A = this chain, B = another copy of it.
Amino acid sequence: MARLGPNRYGKAEVRVVRVARAAHPGGGDVIRDWNVSTSLSGDLDAASLAGDNSHVLPTDSQKNRVYALARELGPVAPEAFGLRLASFFVTSQEPITRARVSVEEYGWSPIGATGHSFARSGDLVRTTTVVLDAERGASVVSGVRDLVVLNTTGSEFWGYPKDEYTTLPETKDRVLATAVDARWRYRPAALGADTAHDRDTAHDPDTAHDRDTSHDWDTAFAAAKAALLAAFSGTYSYSLQQTLYAMGTRVLADVPAACEVRLALPNRHHYLVDLTPFGLGNPNEVYNAGDRPYGLIEGHVLADDAPEEGLAWT
């Protein structure tokens, strides 16, 4: 006999572009460009076992709530949005005891000084995932992906074990490149007022814009990104593992609200091309940028006083 285990459902990849007219301090428009995914769990087994949908708020309704909340909240940080959205589902739907909201944010840079023209930045995707459980509270994990970085020097790789399948030569100078996928977990204290339930004010979009949030998520994101870049750039590296650890510790140092960082760093191999058959040397100048295979280094870095992770990474 079989039984149903953990299950959840929601709407994935709701594309929301929120324009806030003249909301920039300089007078121009502000854009929040998001891809929002929701996932709900709770007392839902009857849907799977008996086709009884009486507890299944349609994913279409979840999508509608995303758009309406974007209107209500204005151009807030994705973390603040996720907390409010998750809170809405858990508060308003009796059977729903847990909500997970993920947001991808795409950046835009102004074109000229019109205030209403923008070009997509394309240098990275900002991410956040909020999990809110009725009993266990809220967590926020934010991050970045597709941030591609490269050092033209300052990287070595040697001193490794050589088994019977090892043919790789050691190197004292190589290109080191990766596409940073980093996520950092915020301390519960950082969430503060954003976790307060807010249904009473939800329909007053004109005042929602300027309400304070408990944490300056945008500033924290900028600091984390800067920390990742600085550590990648500033670490003389004997392995990508070492660089990963340096990036994680730097984020923890520069973003006090963060207590844990998880990184997955593909080693985007740049193979020095052998030009000797053509009568040419290659003093670390010409590389073949390989696609596959690639090394993949994964690691967690935690603050010594990091609280329990709870449901943050689920």
Interface residues of A (CB under 8 A from B): 1-21, 29, 31, 33, 35, 37, 39, 44, 47-65, 67-68, 70-72, 92-93, 108-109, 111-112, 114, 116-124, 146-154, 157-168, 175, 203, 205, 229-230, 232-234, 237-242, 244-245, 248-249, 252-253, 260, 266-267, 270, 273, 275, 277-280, 282-304
Give the docked Cα–Cα distance between A121 and B93 (Å): 40
A183 to chain B, nearest CB (A): 13
In the complex the two chains form, what is the Cα distance from A56 to B119 in whole Å?
Answer: 27
A277 neighbours in B (Cβ, 8 Å): 64, 165, 167
Q: Known contacts A64-B166, A304-B2; is A293 also within 8 Å of B9 by CB? A: no
- Chain B residue with the shortest CB-CB distance to A10: B296
Q: Determine how many copies of this chain the complex contains.
A: 4
CB of A129 to closest CB in B, whole Å: 14
CB pair A298–B114 under 8 Å, yes or no, is: no
Neighbouring B residues of A70 by C-beta, 8 Å: 285-286
Closest-CB distance, A195 to chain B (whole angstroms): 21
B293 and A13 contacting across the interface, CB-CB below 8 Å: yes
